[in-house]
Structure 1
Amino acid sequence: MSTITQSALQSSYPPVLPKSFNSNQPTTIRLYPLSNYTFGTKETQPEEDPSVLARLKRLEEHYNQHGMRRTCEGILVCHEHNHPHILMLQIANAFFKLPGDYLHPEDEEIEGFKARLNERLAPVGTQFTGEGVNDEWQIGDTLAQWWRPNFETFMYPFIPAHVTRPKECKKLYFIQLPRRKVLSVPKNMKLLAVPLFELYDNTARYGPQLSAIPHLLSRYNFEFVDDNGNVVAVTPGGGPDPSSLQPIVLAGGDEMRVETNGDDFPYGMIC
């Protein structure tokens, strides 16, 4: 009998344990605490486009030359207070996006994605040494595909019936974080740890792609590990205190500025 089950049975009100309810589910995911990870900053990475219109114009040029653009982003999960948190980037105190970017036309999918993740989050030079600096990214399941049917800001989790040549496909992958890892964020961005409940049904702030992440992760069961490597909670289990869970700024934000030429848009809507 596990330590967790023993503790539950020794409580004042031991639970009624139902039969197993875990058939046909993926492997349980182990989440490590936020305190296990080291965060730093590196040189500024300016946005390639000064406005939404410029971004869409570049997309059109890419499509005419190379066909549909392939974009890869990662859902990196850790935990705080035994509640899953998603690591994401914030730009100009307003726009949110997952780590990743579009692939170069010649890139193979997974290796190209790892290269884009390194551009965003890998430490540089001798900034850090030790465990977790050069760990390989563990790219897991594809959790969603979003399609851009035209040279417009809207993306959909399906291809509309009248569209035969979508202009972009964005894939979201689950990334299993190791026990320890070193991450560095460009100075003009912030790296946040956002709890699932903050994302859920919050399209006004995060857009439809990011607010859908709790749905995408609901297929998994989680076990939560403490700083010493001990499993301290599992799914299903008791919920955390929501008052203690807020987005946490991990690094960056020193040079938060971006020009939008008057366009005001939530980044999750157009990235």
Structure 2
Amino acid sequence: MNSRHPKVDVYPLSNYSVEIKGAKIQRRTCDAARFTHMEYKYLKYGMKTSVEGILLVHEHKHPHVLMLKKGNAFYKLPGGKLRPGEDEIEGLKRKLSRNLAFNQPPEFQPDWQIGQEVAMWWRPNFTKHMYPYCPPHIEKPKEERKMFIVHLSNRQDFVVPGNYDLVAVPFFDLYDNPQRYGPVYSSIPLQLSRFDFKAMSL
């Protein structure tokens, strides 16, 4: 392996446990309502910034991405929208705790280790389409969406909302599979191809 590549220690999936907390309320369930609300917020606060964490584990030394799954077809990374003016790293830590930990004051939340930003996607208009670049004719994009590596400790307890499952999705299933995971998530293995993954046995 090239020593210049960033290194990431990845621990076995069996090292992590999952507990359940109260269900997460889904306020807007259809695209029309979601984008109408996004437009309202854009007019009030400006461009939306979203942050997401890529948490990695391994099974049989193959990297897997931890994702929240709802029902049979909806997958998402832990993360979400930042508050106006909120720092990206602190906002991601807040969102990780909300998605993956008990609801406690910040001083009792996990010490999330946020690593490198690995991707940025842009939403030019109030539609579902996002791109890994901002089209040159778009002067005011409606959302920027950033993904960061999150370095996990060798053991950790996750606490997820009752209406979601925490699943480990292998790279080979994610890669080039937009029909199931969408274009953003199916590109994760490619985005992480410059990293050296060390499959730990502890």
TM-score w.r.t. length of structure 2: 0.94
How far off is 1:25 after superposition?
1.8
Match of 2:72 in 1: 93
Q: Which residue in the other structure is 2:132 paired with?
A: 157
* 2:83 aligned residue: 104
Distance 1:152 1:70 in 2: 15
Q: Distance in 2 between matches of 1:89 and 1:141?
A: 21
What is residue 61 of structure 2 aligned with on the other side?
Answer: 82
SS in 1 for 2:130: coil
Which residue is 2:175 aligned to? 200
The aligned runs of 1:184-223 (5 Å cut-off) are 184-223=159-198
Secondary structure of 1:117 counterpart: helix
Identity %: 46
Measured after TM superposition, the shift of residue 48 of structure 1 is: 2.2
Q: Is it true that 1:139 corresponds to 2:88 in the alignment? A: no
Larger radius of gyration: 1
User: 1:23 & 1:109 partners in 2: Cα distance?
Assistant: 29
Match of 1:54 in 2: 33
Aligned amino acid, residue 30 of structure 2: S
Deviation of 1:134 after TM superposition, in Å, equals 4.4
Paired letter, 1:40: E
Give the Å deviation of 1:144: 0.5
Query: Does the CA contact (< 8 Å) of 1:135 and 1:181 recur in 2?
Result: no
Measure the CA separation in 1 of the matches of 2:138 and 2:72.
Answer: 35
TM-score, with length taken from structure 1: 0.71
SS at match of 1:145: strand
Secondary structure of 2:20's counterpart equals strand
SS at match of 1:32: strand
Per the alignment, residue 41 of structure 1 pairs with: 20
Question: Alignment RMSD, CA only?
Answer: 1.4
* Deviation, structure 1 residue 215: 0.4
Q: Distance in 2 between matches of 1:151 and 1:22?
A: 42
Q: Which structure features the higher share of strand residues?
A: 2
Q: Which has the higher contact order (CA 8 A, sep 6+)?
A: 2
Corresponding residue number in structure 1 for 2:100: 121
* 4+ aligned runs moved over 2 Å, structure 1: none
Kindly provide the amino acid, as one letter, of the partner of residue 140 in structure 1.
G
CA contact (8 A) 1:123 1:182 kept: no
Asked whether the 8 Å contact 2:97–2:103 carries over to 1, the reply is no
Q: Deviations over 1:92-111 (max 9, x none)?
A: 22111111000111422211
Q: Which runs of 5+ in 1 are unaligned?
A: 1-20, 126-132, 230-271
Report what 1:148 is aligned to. Answer: 123
Equivalent of residue 4 in structure 2, options 12, 24, 27 = 24
Contact 1:88–1:98 (CA under 8 A) maintained in structure 2: yes
- Equivalent positions of 1:214-233 (< 5 A) are 214-226=189-201, 229=202
Unaligned 5+ runs, structure 2: none
Matched position secondary structure for 1:141: strand
2:145 is aligned with 1:166: no
Partner amino acid, structure 2, of 1:97 = K
> Helix, strand or coil for the counterpart of 1:35?
helix
CA distance in 2, matches of 1:82, 1:123: 30
Q: Distance in 1 between matches of 2:183 and 2:78?
A: 17
CA separation of 1:45/1:30 partners in 2, compared to 1, >3 Å: closer, same or farther? same
- 1:64 aligned residue: 43
